[in-house]
Copies of this chain bind each other. A is one copy, B any other.
Amino acid sequence: MNEFELIARLTKSLPANKNVLVGAGDDCAVLNLGAAENLLLFKTDAVVEGVHFTKATPPEKIGRKALARCLSDIAAMAGTPVAALVTLGLPEKFEPEFIGKIYDGLNMLAKQHSVAIVGGETTTNPGRIFLSIALLGTVARGKQVLRSGARTGDAIFVTGELGGSLAEKHLEFEPRLEEARWLAEHFSIHAMIDLSDGLAGDLRHVLKASGVGAELLKGAIPVSRAAKAGSSRCDDRTAQRAVPARKTPLAAALTDGEDFELLFTVAGSDAVPLLDAWKKQFSKLKLSCIGKIVAGDGVILRDKTGARKLDTHGYVHFEK
């Protein structure tokens, strides 16, 4: 049983109530708690020593990453983060100075995005640090972007460049909050997700939620310099996410994960106007149209030699 199978089993029949607009299965839960203008976004995410970082990771970057991952999920709904709680599991012996620096990194990113840290908890977790963030955000009613809205004929976009994130970027990425809000404000974004499991895996989440398929243009996928340099290089050598050495740069871009870029779809007729407007608004951040939504299911990869079904998956926890 892998991570996704376990989650499918655990989330089969969860308790719901009238406040829930979107429950498990999207980047954030969406709740209606009675505010006239806003809906609530609710998300948790954890980083664990030996899994997402190591003893050698600079502590400020551990704290920063933990919050940044949640911020990226708020971005994927086109929302604005508001307040976070920090749950910290600590081994029996720990360095208060190290823990203080985890908070420094976390607090610095929180201030940058006007996120309040409103408490949390410390508890014991023998053997390793476990750091979980619970994040609340808001989104203007009707402006939330789900995974489920992709339609046949949509153009598929990704921000930035993909692959090789474990070399460095996974500790330093910028959550695309401003970009996502701008997109939702100026265009009808049909579906959006943040790339945490890898393009191949996360695109499949969108396709499954929307009941459609996708055709990607191989040459249009923005492969990062780190992916080209060899995705086997990884600062966190003991991290369980370390990737096999012989991935091609394209495979790295498709499957490495932890890119924390945005993938979204818009009507095909919006593609060119969107690209033009984006270049004026965010001249420093690449935006790539990588393909289109098609009828059916799954992902087809097309290059000049033809088209083939892509069977590559993103990173999957707990593979047995």
Contact = CB atoms under 8 A, between A and B. Distances in A.
Interface in A84-128: 85, 87, 89-90, 92, 96, 99-100, 103, 107, 110-111, 114-128
A298 interface: no
Contacts of A3: 122
A121 B45 contact: yes
Contacts of A115: 15, 17
Contacts of A38: 33-34
A132 B42 contact: no
A25 B119 contact: yes
A31 B82 contact: yes
Interface in A1-52: 1, 3, 6-7, 9-11, 13-17, 19-20, 22-26, 29, 31, 33-38, 40, 42-46, 48, 50-52
Contacts of A33: 33, 35, 38, 40, 82, 136, 138
Contacts of A132: 44, 46, 87, 132
Contact of A42 (B103, B121, B134): B134
Nearest to A26: B119
A99 B9 CA distance: 10
B124 A126 contact: no
A116 B31 CA distance: 10
Given A36-B34, A46-B89, A107-B15, A130 B125 contact: yes
A83 interface: yes
A221 B154 CA distance: 68
Contacts of A34: 35-38, 138
Nearest to A123: B46
Given A14-B117, A15-B107, A126-B127, 19 more contacts: A1-B96, A3-B122, A6-B96, A7-B122, A14-B118, A17-B114, A23-B117, A29-B119, A33-B138, A34-B36, A42-B83, A44-B85, A46-B87, A46-B121, A46-B123, A46-B132, A85-B134, A90-B318, A124-B240
9 contacts: A6-B99, A11-B119, A15-B107, A16-B117, A24-B117, A25-B119, A29-B118, A87-B132, A92-B318
10 nearest A-B pairs in the assembled complex, by CB-CB distance = A24-B119, A134-B134, A29-B118, A34-B35, A14-B117, A35-B35, A15-B110, A23-B118, A44-B85, A17-B116
